[in-house]
Amino acid sequence: MNRLSIETPLHAQTVVQELYRDVSRRLTASPPGLCPVDMALNFLRLCHAQTCGKCVPCRIGLGQLEKLLQDVLDQRAGLETIDLIERTARVIADSADCAIGYEAAAMVLHGLQGFREDYEEHIRHGRCICGLSQPVPCVAVCPAHVDVPGYIALVKAGRYEDAVRLIRKDNPFPFTCAYVCEHPCEKQCRRQMVDDAVNICGLKRFAVDHSAPVPAPAPAPSTGKRVAVIGGGPGGLTAAYYLSLMGHKVTVYEQRPALGGMLRYGIPDYRLPPQVLEADIQHILSTGVEVHTNFSVGRDAEMSELQKEYDAVYVCIGAHADKKLGLEGEDSQGVISAVEMLRGIGEGRLPDLQGKRVCVIGGGNVSMDASRTAIRLGASSVTCVYRRRVEDMTALQEEIDDAFAEGCQVLPLQAPSRIEADAEGHVTALWTRPQIIGGYGRDGRPRPRDAAQPEFRIPCEAVIVAIGQRIDSRPFERAGLATDHGAIHAGENTFVPNTVNTFAGGDAVSGPATVIRAVAAGKVAAANIDSYLGFDHRIAVDLSIPAPQLTNMSRCGRVNLKSRNLLECRGDFELVKEGLTPEEAQQEASRCLRCDHFGYGNFKGGRNFEW
């Protein structure tokens, strides 16, 4: 007789735990374009399976809700059914004994608010109104819709030049993106249903690292039309590249001495070596784009003059202005904004942080860039101060990991309150108010608030502020372009309302975003400017994509990029990430499920050969 015993999970329970993990991966990879009512019903079924069966609202109520939702989907319901669903769900949410019940009902209510018209359409006409589609997930979620399965297949076949050509059909920054793209494509990779997302970005890097130079296609015959592009960053150069291939004469105006925008003046060399960026820029310029650097609209010419002089103008300036903390002591010596510091480094001016204790304020990618740069500049310590939790930081996880690895510290849940300086005005410390994480805000993230703890002093000699960027759009406001907090108003087609020939996109419109979003906007702008100018040029690539394997590979771990050994990275701005080995690339490319072929791919067309 055992009074107590060591519990070992039953085999069935172990397997169910594995299945939970399978389902959770599957949900992550859930494709866009599914019927929301159908999904709501099936979430509800999952919830109901979890019920303990004690309380009435959960045990019976969730089951009745299921039947009602099923009636909606099977056209057995009337519009009054929606009211019954709502009334029932509200009572369950109010009276179920535990979270299994009330949270399940809350999900139903949330859905009713979010897509009531879908419920109504199912009842009235037995159809979905959500524009059902099952596109290739990675291609669909890539803002520029790069043909991911296509280039992965080409990498697998060793056709690296073709891979680069295929990418350039949709994105003229294959080299840059291979190093710094945020790769939203990987977030919804269907391979997660099997094991883990394909390392798409790593494979792209393998392609560009192994490709021989590929000349740009010959531009279409000259149209005689002239287009001005204001801003020589990724968005502007993308528009310039495609417009140039379409036969238009493009002039890029860039306010800094060199092209590249934030890629050159915002991203440190150890993430994006200058020669990588240069490869893309030279390719783009080889199509005959004219460039004026050190040219600032509002100083060297008025926007209105350019609008008159050119047939069309594309505005895609970056978010280069910094945001201020608005704190006491912010103008002290040793306080610098991150964008300003990174820009200075891009122009060859290295700040002196040697032996200093540095505080970096902010939790985004720029903050990580600033922190890691400060380490390289010889700071004796780097403390990243953030008012939320580490898991709330908006920087990419791999950036945070690398920053930790290189010796940065993160001090979460500290809100900057003031900056202390000595008599000469030099920074001596950053004071913070300790925070406690609390309820959820409208943005769906938990909000920090002041904790009942005394102010905290962090002694330091430098403070780098990385709390966001702004757009300086005043020269464009003067020409009558409408703005909101500096962001220029433009439609989904990038056309600027109330102008004749002006288009805008990228950070200038969306606020600070990613390279691939700027590229996507540039591509959209190029197509619509071409149409506006009265043409219908198509950007296409002529190559065949290798056939997929007969059946897909069974479960296999994802290969991640390794970092160079970084025990000591002071003074070292060399590239950190090492590319895949040929063996790794081959295996990783084989993991691609080829959604361009399998499933909906070969049915509704998994590929656009032109746009």
Residues that bind another protein (CB under 8 A): 34-35, 38, 42, 73-76, 125-129, 132, 547, 550-554, 602-603
Can you give the length of the chain in residues? 611
Residue 97 CB partners (closer than 8 Å, separation 6+): 54, 55, 57, 58
In the complex with another protein, the residue whose CB is nearer, 257 or 605, is 605
Alpha carbon distance 159, 459 (integer Å): 55
Q: How far is the CB of 552 from another protein (least distance, A)?
A: 7
Q: How far is the CB of 86 from another protein (least distance, A)?
A: 23
Q: How far is the CB of 117 from another protein (least distance, A)?
A: 13
In the complex with another protein, the residue whose CB is nearer, 20 or 603, is 603
In the complex with another protein, the residue whose CB is nearer, 38 or 340, is 38
In the complex with another protein, the residue whose CB is nearer, 282 or 602, is 602
Q: How far is the CB of 590 from another protein (least distance, A)?
A: 12
In the complex with another protein, the residue whose CB is nearer, 34 or 396, is 34
In the complex with another protein, the residue whose CB is nearer, 344 or 546, is 546
Please return the burial class of 544, using the count of CB atoms within 10 Å of its CB with bins 0-12, 13-18 and 19+: exposed
Q: How far is the CB of 604 from another protein (least distance, A)?
A: 9
Whole-Å CA distances, 390 to 285, 355, 404, 437, 485 = 42, 26, 11, 11, 29
Treating both helix axes as pointing N-terminal to C-terminal, what angle do 62-73 and 99-114 enclose, rounded to 10 degrees? 30
Whole-Å CA distances, 297 to 52, 512, 566 = 67, 20, 42
Q: What pairing do the DSSP bridges indicate for beta strands 462-465 and 335-337? A: parallel
Containing 242, the helix (H) or strand (E) segment is: helix 234-245
Q: With contact defined as beta carbons under 8 Å apart, do 188 and 141 qualify?
A: yes
Q: How far is the CB of 171 from another protein (least distance, A)?
A: 29
In the complex with another protein, the residue whose CB is nearer, 126 or 355, is 126
Please return the burial class of 378, using the count of CB atoms within 10 Å of its CB with bins 0-12, 13-18 and 19+: middle
- Provide the 8-state DSSP code for 186: G
In the complex with another protein, the residue whose CB is nearer, 598 or 611, is 598
Q: Which of 333, 531, 512, 330 is nearest to 431 (CA)?
A: 330
In the complex with another protein, the residue whose CB is nearer, 54 or 124, is 124
What would the two tokens of residue 46 be?
Answer: 């999952």
Q: How far is the CB of 307 from another protein (least distance, A)?
A: 31
Q: What pairing do the DSSP bridges indicate for beta strands 414-421 and 409-411? A: unpaired
Pure H helices in 549-597: 582-590
Residue 199 CB partners (closer than 8 Å, separation 6+): 186, 558, 559, 560, 561, 580, 588
In the complex with another protein, the residue whose CB is nearer, 76 or 449, is 76
Q: How far is the CB of 436 from another protein (least distance, A)?
A: 43
Q: How far is the CB of 10 from another protein (least distance, A)?
A: 30
DSSP string, 411-453: E-SEEEEEEEE-TTSBEEEEEEEEEEEEEE-TTSSEEEEE-SS
Q: How far is the CB of 537 from another protein (least distance, A)?
A: 15
In the complex with another protein, the residue whose CB is nearer, 76 or 299, is 76
Q: How far is the CB of 78 from another protein (least distance, A)?
A: 12
In the complex with another protein, the residue whose CB is nearer, 576 or 595, is 595
Q: How far is the CB of 35 from another protein (least distance, A)?
A: 4
Q: Which of 314, 309, 186 is nearest to 242 (CA)?
A: 314
C-alpha gyration radius of the chain: 27
- Provide the 8-state DSSP code for 6: -
Please return the burial class of 526, using the count of CB atoms within 10 Å of its CB with bins 0-12, 13-18 and 19+: buried
